[in-house]
Amino acid sequence: MSMLDYLYNKKVLTIVTTHYSELKSFAYEHDGMENASVEFDPTTLRPTYKLLMGVPGSSNAFYISKRLGLAPEILDQAQSLIGAEHANMENVLQNLEGERREYESRNKDIENLQLEAEHLRNELHYQKWSWKNARTTFSARPESRLTSCIVTLAEKVRLS
């Protein structure tokens, strides 16, 4: 972190990739620094390559290792070797990522509903306009409409 602090104080543009939670916290504590991560799909165990600015990534190493069948005793020992603070930070980050995905899904649903409401509103305006024009046309020439109806009715009676 001293290297980052040095570069920060010299105002050097720096890009750092890390799994260390301390560096993620360091970025939050300094103006002009920003965390980012690449979204990871836990179902496919692959990155989506979607860049998430402002969101520090969590390490998926334990999750991937477990899903791929690494022996539980190896995972348990590895978990015990990392600090409790680091493990807690990873849990927080994973929970935040899950919440972010849920909010993103809900936002997409809201956008779809807004588009549907806009479409229905436009359709309603068109129907209102059509009805108003039809009514205007009908009321503008009631005698021609009446004549047309009488002629049609007379033709039907004559053909019967």
The per-residue DSSP string of 123-148 comes to: HHHHHHHHHHHHHHHHHH-HHHHHHH
Position of tokens 């995972």? 75
| Amino acid at the residue 69 | G
Is the predicted pLDDT of residue 76 greater than 90, yes or no?
Answer: no
Structure tokens at 48: 């989506």
DSSP 11: T
> Model pTM?
0.49
Q: What is the rounded CA–CA span in Å between residue 36 and residue 56? A: 5
Q: In this predicted structure, what is the pLDDT of residue 95?
A: 75
Q: In this predicted structure, what is the pLDDT of residue 144?
A: 62
87-114 mean pLDDT: 83
Q: In this predicted structure, what is the pLDDT of residue 6?
A: 95
123-144 mean pLDDT: 73
pLDDT band at 138 (very low <50, low <70, confident <90, very high): low
Q: In this predicted structure, what is the pLDDT of residue 158?
A: 72
Tell me the pairing of strands 46-53 and 36-41. antiparallel
Phi, psi for 37 (deg, rounded to 5): -150, 165
Q: In this predicted structure, what is the pLDDT of residue 85?
A: 64
pLDDT band at 71 (very low <50, low <70, confident <90, very high): very high
Q: In this predicted structure, what is the pLDDT of residue 14?
A: 92
Q: In this predicted structure, what is the pLDDT of residue 143?
A: 59
CA dihedral 122, 125, 130, 131 (to 10 degrees): 140
* Other residues' Cβ atoms within 10 Å of the Cβ of residue 89: 20
